[in-house]
Amino acid sequence: MTDDFAALLERGRTGDKRAVARLISLIEQGGETARSVLTQLWPHTGRARIFGITGPPGAGKSTLTNALTKCWRAKGLRVGIIAVDPTSPFTGGAILGDRVRMGDLTLDTGVFIRSMGTRGQLGGLSPATAGAVHALDACGYDLILLETVGVGQSEVAVMEIADLVLVLNVPGLGDDVQAIKAGILEIGDLFAVNKADRPGADRTANELRAMLELGEEKRPLPVLLVSASQGTGVTELCEELERQYLLLNGNGELARRRALRLRSELLTLVREGIEQRLLRPLLDSPMFAQSLERFQSRTESPYRWAEEFVTQISGGGPGYELHKS
């Protein structure tokens, strides 16, 4: 079993895209298989640069991702793309999405593209997304592009996985940049106004700059004009992304983000275990149903009950502090 994973990883590292796809599928399956695969991948991770690209639907994220990919391919870098697609939470949609997106990158052995659904309606990344990034990283992809629609929770979640985030906007989404929510401004390390071939792009960029100046950032964040479909400004954007990455690397911010990311990934793992082993059996128990009835009839308070429950499962000791997490 273990040797099979090692062989897959070896094949993935030499650019065998079917092996990479298989590794990601095994991770998506979850359970012990995913744990074994991820454990084997782990020592080989931590090398890739991970860029998040987010923006409203139709802003040109896919088109730009393709254009940027070509730019990096010209430099000989291998590129992995994960398109987080909240409109297709099912594998069927995701597979179709891959075909549509691949376009002329399909035949390029140095590019791997995968669509992944989100966790439910509100967005948020599916639990396997971080694992898929690790798989691409371990397989030697130099750059990993995480593309997501800037709605719901997924753009915030992308920020937690990416080293840096590019926020894309377009002219003509109404008379303002308000289409970009304040929240999305906060997660950007750099901004681009796509469809610069259309009227109003300059104005949109200026409005964006003005909004960013009101923010709390100490350094001015770059706002670039680009036309993904025409190819103008793409090289500059590609270089600016690299420049920002080096900046973050140089000032310690990258290391800080990566440490935070590890911490949050570990917490997610531990929480999942606690949820499965301790909480779920409790929720399913008759004892819990009976307690609920007592809370409902006000013969007992849930506050004491919760405290006693936690004391019990943690093997005694003092009660936990309410509302102090």
Give me the residues paired with residue 83 across strands.
115, 147
Sole binder of ligand GDP in the list 23, 51, 52, 63 (CB under 6 A) = 63
- Stretch in the footprint of ligand GDP (CB under 6 A) among 190-198, 235-243, 273-281, 306-314: 190-198
Of 189-197, 216-224, 252-260, 300-308, the segment contacting ligand GDP by CB under 6 A is: 189-197
């895209």: which residue's tokens? 17
Q: Is 24 exposed, middle or buried (0-12, 13-18, 19+ CB in 10 A)?
A: buried
Examine residue 70 and tell whether it contacts ligand GDP (CB under 6 A): no
Q: Candidates 36, 45, 229, 291: give the one binding ligand GDP (CB under 6 A).
A: 229
Nearer to ligand GDP, 25 or 229 (CB): 229
The total number of residues written for the chain in this structure: 325
**Residue 101 or 257: which CB sits closer to ligand GDP?**
101
Answer yes or no whether residue 8 interacts with ligand GDP by CB under 6 A. no
61 near ligand GDP, judged by CB under 6 A: yes
Residue 58 in contact with ligand GDP, rule: CB under 6 A = yes
Runs of H (alpha helix) within 191-316: 201-214, 234-250, 253-274, 280-284, 286-296, 302-313
The two three-digit tokens of residue 112, written as one number: 């791997």
- What is the closest distance, in whole angstroms, from the C-beta atom of residue 83 to ligand GDP in the complex? 8
Q: Are strands 223-225 and 49-55 parallel, antiparallel or unpaired?
A: unpaired
- Selected binder of ligand GDP within 16, 108, 142, 197 (CB under 6 A): 197
Tokens standing for 196?
Answer: 């610069």
Q: Which stretch binds ligand GDP (CB under 6 A): 128-136, 222-230, 264-272, 273-281?
A: 222-230
Q: Provide, rounded to whole angstroms, the least separation between the CB of residue 65 and ligand GDP.
A: 8
Residue 244 interacts with ligand GDP (CB under 6 A)? Answer: no
Q: Are 208 and 191 in contact (CB under 8 A)?
A: yes
Tokens linked to 151: 């709605």
Instruction: Please say which residue, 126 or 194, places its beta carbon nearer to ligand GDP.
Output: 194
Instruction: Provide, rounded to whole angstroms, the least separation between the CB of residue 170 and ligand GDP.
Output: 8
By CB under 6 A, tell whether 60 contacts ligand GDP.
yes
Binding segment toward ligand GDP, per CB under 6 A, in 159-167, 203-211, 225-233, 298-306: 225-233
Which residues touch 299 (CB under 8 Å, ≥6 apart)?
none
User: With contact defined as beta carbons under 8 Å apart, do 87 and 194 qualify?
Assistant: no
Residue carrying structure tokens 């019990």 = 312
Q: Which stretch binds ligand GDP (CB under 6 A): 37-45, 224-232, 245-253, 307-315?
A: 224-232
Q: Is 129 helix (H, G, I), strand (E, B) or coil?
A: helix
Do 163 and 258 form a contact (C-beta atoms < 8 A)? yes
Count of residues interacting with ligand GDP (CB under 6 A): 16
Please, what sign has the CA dihedral across residues 151, 156, 158, 164?
positive
Interface positions with ligand GDP (CB under 6 A): 55, 57-63, 194-195, 197-198, 227-230
